[in-house]
Amino acid sequence: SAVISQKPSRDICQRGTSLTIQCQVDSQVTMMFWYRQQPGQSLTLIATANQGSEATYESGFVIDKFPISRPNLTFSTLTVSNMSPEDSSIYLCSVDGRRVLFNEQFFGPGTRLTVL
Amino acid sequence: DQQVKQNSPSLSVQEGRISILNCDYTNSMFDYFLWYKKYPAEGPTFLISISSIKDKNEDGRFTVFLNKSAKHLSLHIVPSQPGDSAVYFCAASPTQGGSEKLVFGKGTKLTVNP
């Protein structure tokens, strides 16, 4: 399994500002994923980040709102831009497992964001 | 349109009894199913998975059953322990590879009472 850390663990932000969330993995991984969990909802994939290429965004999510960086195989950032109260969520990064078959994803502890 | 549904937001059972958590899906392209457990202030932790070529997978106290014709899977925990109290998420993927995105249900909060 992979050990994943996220910073910050939580934050309270003002409307209109931006927050960058960091995700660090203890080993090199090919794929990193960013999810959002809004209150009472399921985890929803925002985008997939490969090192050295542009992130691939899911329907309903755009790069201007959620820019992602993936500078190397152990690190990624997600920025939540021009925040509104609707962006209040838990943001999680995950990485692909390392097994050949029946792969699972491993998740970081999450960043709890509250936008006032 | 929710492709993975967990219709019970909560479940309460007594310690030592069986916990059964249910999950339904609508997309027939899903080929691989996973269960995650999530404690407060932590990320989801992988629990058990099943491929569509199987109808049962067992790991200790945890067993997942898949009924592909009904597009239904369930997680059985027996015997249930107070430490099993958590939110359980069902997830599905079109392939067995971890590089594919996972589609999650909304979760079921399990409470195991001593």
Q: How sure is the predictor about B99, in pLDDT bands with cuts at 50, 70 and 90? A: low
Q: What is the identity of the amino acid at A67?
A: P
Residue A31 tokens, joined: 């794929």
Q: How sure is the predictor about B45, in pLDDT bands with cuts at 50, 70 and 90? A: very high
Q: Is the pLDDT of residue B96 over 60?
A: no
Please tell me the distance from the alpha carbon of residue A111 to that of residue A89, in angstroms, as a whole number.
Answer: 8
Please tell me the distance from the alpha carbon of residue A67 to that of residue A47, in angstroms, as a whole number.
Answer: 10
Please tell me the distance from the alpha carbon of residue A110 to that of residue A91, in angstroms, as a whole number.
Answer: 5
Look at residue A50 in the predicted model and tell me its pLDDT: 84
Question: Which residues from A are below 8 Å from B104, CB to CB?
Answer: 42-44
Question: How do residues A35-75 score in pLDDT, each as one tens digit?
Answer: 999 988 899 999 999 887 889 999 999 999 999 999 999 99
DSSP one-letter code for B82:
G
Say if strands B108-113 and A31-37 run parallel, antiparallel, or are unpaired: unpaired
Question: Which residues from A are below 8 Å from B25, CB to CB?
Answer: none
Would you call B88 an interface residue with chain A, using a CB distance cutoff of 8 Å? no
Backbone angles phi, psi at A62, to 5 degrees: -125, 155
